[in-house]
Amino acid sequence: MKHLFLALFLTMSVSISAHNSIAFNDVSEKNGSIITKEIASSTVDVPVDNFQAPTRLVHKRPQSGSVKKRLRSISFGTTEWTLSNDVVVVLRPTDYKDNEIVFEASSLGGYSKVSLGDLPSAYALNEIMKTNGRSDLSYANLQQILGGKTAKVEASLDEQTENLSGRSSIQDFETMLQLIYLNFQKPHEDADAFDTSMQRLRNEASSRASNQQKVFADSLLMKWTSYDKRTTLLNEEMLNNVNYNKVLDIFNKRFSSANDFVFVFTGNIDPEDAATEKLICTWLGSLPKGKAEEYSKQGNDHPKGPYTSRFVTNVGMDISTNTIRYYAPMEYSWTNLINMHIIEYIAKYRIMEKAKGASPLEVKTWISKYPTEEGVLSIQFNCNPKAREAVVRLVKEEVQRLVKEGASSEDFIKAKESMFDQFDKDVQDNGYWASSLVRYYMYGRDYINEYRDWIDYITLESIRETLDKLVASENVFEVSMQKER
């Protein structure tokens, strides 16, 4: 899964909130992406218009829809409504945090629906729409209206999906619903905001060339995707192909219909409250209905068999940066998912113990659903260039030893206990519930009721067999970069 936009192992989003500042986050490479860590380490002040601010997000209330179907889930404690426009709304009351309602929604499509020539505009979209208005309101208008309110909604695209997420207080719940509604209206045109966003992107593109880890991340992505034509890096060439009208058009298309989204609300929300139902029917029941879409399969052209690349850079410190990946076709099943999670824990224990010269050490595993079902074990570390060969050998030997001998009972128990502890913390968080319910509706994976049972089901032998599949495929991807001497 590849070709998103900008950084390693996290997610970028578009934010409309009650603050006059913008933070820029990493984007995940779990799904095969690039690329930016932070466009700025500090916040960016957004100029506020001097004219009198509008007082409403929406000038005319839309015609309300209705609930045409109601379901309840005892296992999840959820209430599901299908509205008259076929929008699915899932509500899960909790008491984990006072005065908080968390929201998430996703729909399949994302960058996979964008043509090759429009990819630069699509990849720049997340950043541009951070400070772009909605409907007839500029971003400054939005900030003025939202002043003093606790409500925000973020919109984003990734390779597979278009997404909305947000949170609000109980009293500002309708404001959050209105922000959701605005994302499905025609986006605001603001050439000045576009120019400002593009300047931030150009500054980031310029800084990447002198950032050692970003140079490595960009090179790693190109090699990992076999220089696929859809792989796009943040650079001057890419930015020269960004078209503002195309950005707005792509955003409008990705959020043109709401009936293929699942809208999940968790926290201080009461499905039995008539006022809550009325608000949801007004703002979500009036959203446009269209043809449901699926993910459009794109290439997944990782190198086959052993692959080794060593290259030098003229920037940064005198260190060697390395990534080793083992990967193979793998069913997107509960057994494999949990096995891979436990492998991540155990491999990190073992490699940290043996490869003392590797620091910092990052061990990640994932199984992709799209474009093909594939499992990956990724190990990334820095080390002294003189010790590179020895450290790489130690890492590979430890992986082979895990395949041959299996994990120790001690490491196995420690990994499971760590997963249980993390799960116990996660299920006390409204955001975890929201994201888990979205995943359940989209992919059929129950991270609430089945997770503990599947961890208990996993054995030392099933872990060894899963790791053996990765190693036996002989797909070993190794990339190393160091400072030119």
Rounded to 5 degrees, what are φ and ψ at 396?
-65, -40
Residue 330: which residues within 8 A CB-CB, separation 6 or more? Answer: 336, 340, 367, 373, 374, 375, 466, 469, 470
Rounded to 5 degrees, what are φ and ψ at 189?
-100, 125
Q: Would you list the domain boundaries of the chain?
A: 14-283, 307-483
- Two tokens, residue 47: 């100029």
Tens digits of per-residue pLDDT, 171-218?
Answer: 999 999 999 999 999 999 999 999 999 999 999 999 998 999 999 999
Rounded to 5 degrees, what are φ and ψ at 180?
-60, -45
User: How far, in Å, CA of 202 to CA of 121, rounded?
Assistant: 14
Report DSSP letters for 292-322, one per residue.
---PPP----PPPS-EEEEEEESSS-S-EEE
Tens digits of per-residue pLDDT, 222-274?
Answer: 999 999 999 999 999 999 999 999 999 999 999 999 999 999 999 999 999 99
The three-point CA angle 446-452-455 to 5° equals 105
Superfamily for 14-283?
A: Metalloenzyme, LuxS/M16 peptidase-like (3.30.830.10)
Identical topology for domains 14-283 and 307-483: yes
8 Å CB contact between 243 and 277: no
User: How far, in Å, CA of 348 to CA of 376, rounded?
Assistant: 14
Residue 447: CA atoms inside 13 Å, Cβ hemisphere, count? Answer: 21
Q: What is the pLDDT of residue 298?
A: 80
Tens digits of per-residue pLDDT, 43-88?
Answer: 444 445 455 667 899 999 999 999 999 999 999 999 999 999 999 9
Residue 264: CA atoms inside 13 Å, Cβ hemisphere, count? Answer: 26
H helix intervals, 209-243: 212-224, 236-240
The fold of the 307-483 domain, in CATH, is Cytochrome Bc1 Complex; Chain A, domain 1 (3.30.830)
pTM of structure: 0.85
Q: What is the pLDDT of residue 34?
A: 42
Average the pLDDT over 107-122 and give the result.
Answer: 96
Rounded to 5 degrees, what are φ and ψ at 67?
-90, 120
| Residue ranges of E strands in 160-289 | 161-168, 262-267
CA-nearest of 308, 212, 229, 224 to 34 is 224
Percent of the chain with pLDDT over 90: 80
CA distance between the termini of the chain: 35
- Two tokens, residue 186: 């025609």
